[in-house]
Structure formats: structure tokens, C-alpha cells
């Protein structure tokens, strides 16, 4: 779900890491997601908690071997912040959906670029053919 700010639409929360450093993101929901805290100066900005976000990345790898419940318990014990197994599953499912959607959109953009270049080639060949016939 997106939240409107004026006439701009903000994207759903995405963990952003630039040059291996987590960056602040806009707050778009009432709940504070795991790995973030509100900025003391601006309630509409969420500041990353690098330790929690790094452990969340590690937890994703543990899910290949352990259950959501076990990984959520490990994450809660090692970060000092509670996350339920349902919350962990929801967060990772939403992240996967965003990644799939982004991948699909990039693929469709690539198809569109190919189609446009092919249409331009066809158009150029038609114009050239008409000029050659009329001369």
C-alpha cells in the first residue's frame, strides 16, 4: 500500500543500503518496522538500526534450514527487539513480492525497448521503400 504525501506517492518501505550503509526511509505506516526507529526530530523519517537489519539479513539465510518460529526467536534474542514469526514471515513475503514486481517491470521495460527499436527499423524501411518507388 502506498501513502500519499501531497501529490507525490511514496513507494512501500524498502530496506535501502547504499555503499554497505543503511539509509533512512520515509515512514508510511503507523507501525515501526523491525530494524528501524523514528527520528527524534522528525516523526515521518525512520532511521535504520544497522545491527538489527544486518541480523535480519542473516536470518533470511537461516530460513533455509530452520522454521520461521525458530528464526524469529533467534532474531528476538540476538537483537533485543521482539519480532513474531508471523511478522517475520509477512515482512519477508512482502519483500519477495516487491522484488518479483521490480524484476517483472524491468523485464517488461526491456521488452518495450526491443519492440520500439524493431518498430523504428520497420518504419525506416517502409519510408525508404516508398521513396525508392516514387523516384
User: Taking the CB of residue 86, how many other CB atoms lie within 10 A of it?
Assistant: 11
Tell me: pLDDT of 95 over 50: yes
Domain boundaries, the chain: 3-134
Q: What mean pLDDT value characterizes the chain?
A: 81
pLDDT tens profile 16-75: 555 567 888 888 888 888 989 999 999 899 999 999 999 999 999 999 999 999 999 999
> Facing residues of 21 across strands?
18
Q: Which residues contact 84 (CB under 8 A, 6 or more apart)?
A: 72
> Facing residues of 8 across strands?
5
In contact, 12 and 2? CB cutoff 8 Å: yes
What is the pLDDT, as a whole number, of residue 18? 58
Amino acid at each position: 500500500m502506498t501513502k500519499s504525501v501531497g501529490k507525490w506517492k511514496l513507494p512501500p518501505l524498502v530496506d535501502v543500503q547504499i555503499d554497505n550503509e543503511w539509509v533512512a526511509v520515509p515512514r508510511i505506516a503507523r507501525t515501526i518496522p523491525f530494524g528501524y526507529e523514528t527520528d527524534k526530530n522528525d516523526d515521518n523519517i525512520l532511521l535504520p538500526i544497522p545491527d538489527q537489519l544486518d541480523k535480519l539479513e542473516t536470518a533470511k539465510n537461516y530460513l533455509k534450514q530452520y522454521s520461521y518460529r525458530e528464526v524469529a526467536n533467534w532474531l528476538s534474542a540476538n537483537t533485543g527487539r521482539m519480532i513474531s514469526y508471523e511478522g517475520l514471515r509477512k515482512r519477508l513475503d512482502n519483500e519477495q513480492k516487491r522484488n518479483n514486481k521490480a524484476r517483472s517491470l524491468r523485464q517488461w521495460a526491456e521488452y518495450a525497448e526491443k519492440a520500439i527499436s524493431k518498430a523504428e527499423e520497420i518504419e525506416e524501411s517502409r519510408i525508404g521503400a516508398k521513396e525508392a518507388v516514387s523516384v
